[in-house]
Amino acid sequence: MAHLALYREYRPQRFSEVVGQEHITRTLRNALVQGRLHHAYLLSGPRGTGKTTVARILAKAVNCLNPQDGEPCNECAACRRITSGEALDLIEIDAASNRGIDEIRDLRDKVNFAPVELKYKVYIIDEVHMLTEPAFNALLKTLEEPPPHVLFILATTEKQKLPITILSRCQAFDYRRLSVDEIVGRLQEVCARQGLKASPEALTAIARHADGGMRDALSLLDQVMAYAAEGEITLDMTLAILGTAPLDQFLALDDALLRGDVGAALLWLDEMVRAGKDLRQLVRDYLAHLRDLLLVKLEAGARVLGLPPEVLEQMRARAEPFAEGQLIRAIRLLGQAESDLRLSPSPRLLVEVALIRLTGLFTGGADEEEAEGARGTAAAPARRRHPGAGSASGARAPDRAQGEAAGPAGGGPAPPPPGPA
């Protein structure tokens, strides 16, 4: 039998198991308990944060034969069939593949049929923003006044693309990105249930790389577990899978830049390239490192990083020689380089130039482009005060004026201006 991915094996089956979205799960549970179920819900937010999971739990909860405080029992026939994906009355539609008006007309025709085996017929339309404009128009009336046995749950990662007419017909819930601590806590639970040991640093690296998405974090953990086999999951293993350079490497680059050692910085880049590091990923990772330094430097921002205490102390010591302004300019500079890498025919050259400019910035020398801009800005007021200065025409102007005042050669009076014709 094929291996079941961790994010599927450990998908929450109850509202209480969903991590980090209590404002949504609590509202839905209360609505079920109070009998205030709406006919259409819109779940929107970043990928991998639990939209489809909550939609399926809600489908179970409204059809459960023995609900418990708004939670599905997961034991009755209805719950088991929905969990196994065998329920005929749970219809999941991928709007990216079924986005036309014909598919929505088919849905509109079938929505009036009574459920086959459950109390409610539940339609989950994923990536609903991918529907065409005619398809949205065809859905409007059905979404506004569906039959009493029908529940619509729409899910999207791009809420801003939905027509206002769709938004006004749904109860909308906005998902948030999960914090590093929330993801690490869930990963620790999964490792414990799998009987594996994992270092906190390794799980933190996975959580930070997942960028707030639990599904991405569990997928990465799956990869690292396969790499580690039966051994303990370490930080080095995790970084190898993520393709990320370890913190020590970035600290070494910091040292080279602070010393103004361009050669050492370029040698560092050469070693990273020889090790197979992707240049864009490398630049993104160093950008994240500079952000960490800036937040640690600001002190109050250190709380949002979710770093282990020993790593946080190490970052505080490293941030000491940097000025806040330097870090901000460095982030701007490197961010522009990362953007330019997408279209550059010579990506390595672009990164080398960026490192050279960073060296000048961190050693107190002005970045060449910024210095050029400053010189241009300083020269502009001077040109406005002396518009003729420095130009050949400006230099000759006084001579012309003097000649006109002197009149013709020989010292005679100047001729009168010509009269009217």
pLDDT tens digits along 161-215: 999 999 999 999 999 999 999 999 999 999 999 988 999 999 999 999 998 999 9
Backbone angles phi, psi at 279, to 5 degrees: -65, -45
Domain boundaries, the chain: 6-174, 180-242, 247-364
Query: Cβ contacts of residue 170 below 8 Å, gap of 6+?
Result: 38, 40, 41, 42, 143, 152, 154
pLDDT at res. 299? 74
Give the number of other Cβ atoms within 10 Å of residue 52's Cβ.
Answer: 17
- Say which range, 4-13, 263-272, 305-314, has the weakest mean pLDDT: 305-314
Using a pLDDT cut of 70, give the percent of the chain over it. 85
Question: Which amino acid would we find at residue 9?
Answer: E
Whether this prediction's pTM lies above 0.85 is answered by: no
The mean per-residue pLDDT over the stretch 399-407 comes to 44
The mean per-residue pLDDT over the stretch 260-283 comes to 93
pLDDT at res. 365? 59
Distances (CA, A) of 42 to 144, 259, 271: 13, 54, 49
Give the number of other Cβ atoms within 10 Å of residue 275's Cβ.
Answer: 11
Q: Give yes or no for residue 51 having a pLDDT over 90.
A: yes
Identify the CA nearest to 23 among candidates 168, 157, 175, 155.
175
Q: Give yes or no for residue 387 having a pLDDT over 60.
A: no
Number of Cα atoms under 13 Å in the Cβ half of residue 319? 23
pLDDT at res. 301? 67
Kindly state the helix (H) or strand (E) to which residue 270 belongs, with its residue range: helix 262-274
* CATH domain 180-242 topology: Helicase, Ruva Protein; domain 3 (1.10.8)
Q: Give yes or no for residue 419 having a pLDDT over 80.
A: no
- Confidence category of residue 363, pLDDT binned at 50, 70, 90: confident
Q: Give yes or no for residue 219 having a pLDDT over 60.
A: yes
pLDDT at res. 352? 96
- Confidence category of residue 306, pLDDT binned at 50, 70, 90: confident
Query: Cβ contacts of residue 350 below 8 Å, gap of 6+?
Result: 337, 340, 341, 344
Q: What is the C-alpha to C-alpha distance for residues 405 and 414, in angstroms, rounded to an integer?
A: 8
Whether 247-364 and 180-242 are alike in CATH topology: the answer is no
The architecture in CATH of the region 6-174 reads: 3-Layer(aba) Sandwich (3.40)
Domain 247-364 has CATH 3.40.50.620: no
- Confidence category of residue 404, pLDDT binned at 50, 70, 90: very low
Q: Give yes or no for residue 12 having a pLDDT over 50.
A: yes
Q: Give yes or no for residue 381 having a pLDDT over 80.
A: no
Q: Give yes or no for residue 398 having a pLDDT over 50.
A: no
